[in-house]
Amino acid sequence: MQSWQIGDVRVTKVVEMEVAGGSEFILPQATPEAVREMQWMWPHFMDERGRLIMSVHALVIETPGRRIVVDTCIGNDKPRRIPGWNMLQKPFLRDLEQAGYPPPSIDAVLCTHLHVDHVGWNTVWTGERWVPTFPSARYLMASSEFEYWRRQEQDEEQRTVFADSVAPVFDAGLVDLVETDHVLCDEVGLLPTPGHTPAHCSVLIRSRGERALITGDFAHHPCQMARLDWSSTADYDPDAAIRTRREVFERFSDTPTLIIGTHFAGATAGHLVRDGDAYRLVVDG
């Protein structure tokens, strides 16, 4: 179980799944031939064949006063279009509890955006209906993000996701709709990083002069640090996503800020450094 300390704040990674290969559907330009020259990505972010390694995990932020889960993966028992994500039976909640975070102890659930692999464990199936997994938590979602997906009529998959993983917590009165620069507490706030979705957010942590950034999906994989123009097929606005990567990487490169990737496998975190006209992630140790 990986964790990082940022001043008085601890961030712990709880993995739902990690896979090598099969990422063509999300980053089609990142072929093995295209990424093999990025040797800095081996062994954490690609294998020896040049296949991308990606992770689906939640990040638990523990401040002196709060426990916050950032993004809740895919979830169990849910019908999904992607075969490897369909009707999962994963020990995620057991692993979360073994990490020291039983669901009743969570104060807040923060959704960087409302895609299928970021909201799944918002709810669990009782055999009759979907109920909130974290009954003591407030679920924080950007208001414009929520409204966009609530009005979605064209994307059948996303309508299903909203119905089983977002609407039940809203109907239970547990959702706080916030702005994309919302401050949760002294140590944790949102950073607007639009493009992947209309109101996508990242999470900025500050404590005792130290700083970390949880990416969300403005960058799905570290290869996008070397190729900022490689946009995800799931991006709502690819041009805005590219602008966001340029702005965020410019802001945080060559600084002590720890970058923690929401889908980055292996070491998951590191420091962003300039590499010619682009960037790369340097893993500590």
For 44-90, the pLDDT digits (tens) are 999 999 999 999 999 999 999 999 999 999 999 999 999 999 999 99
pLDDT, average across residues 97-124: 98
Confidence class for position 116, pLDDT limits 50, 70, 90: very high
HSE-CB at 50 with a 13 A cutoff on CA atoms is: 11
DSSP sequence for 187-203: TEEEEE-TTSSTT-EEE
**Cα angle for residues 250, 252, 258 (degrees, 5° grid):** 150
For 238-252, the pLDDT digits (tens) are 999 999 999 999 999
Within 8 A by CB and 6+ apart from 159, the residues are 152, 153
Confidence class for position 285, pLDDT limits 50, 70, 90: low
For 33-46, the pLDDT digits (tens) are 999 999 999 999 99
Strand partners, 5: 10
For 173-202, the pLDDT digits (tens) are 999 999 999 999 999 999 999 999 999 999
Measured distance CA(10)–CA(162) in Å, rounded: 30
Question: pTM, whole model, 2 decimals?
Answer: 0.97
pLDDT, average across residues 255-276: 98
Domains of the chain: 3-282 (3.60.15.10)
Measured distance CA(237)–CA(50) in Å, rounded: 28
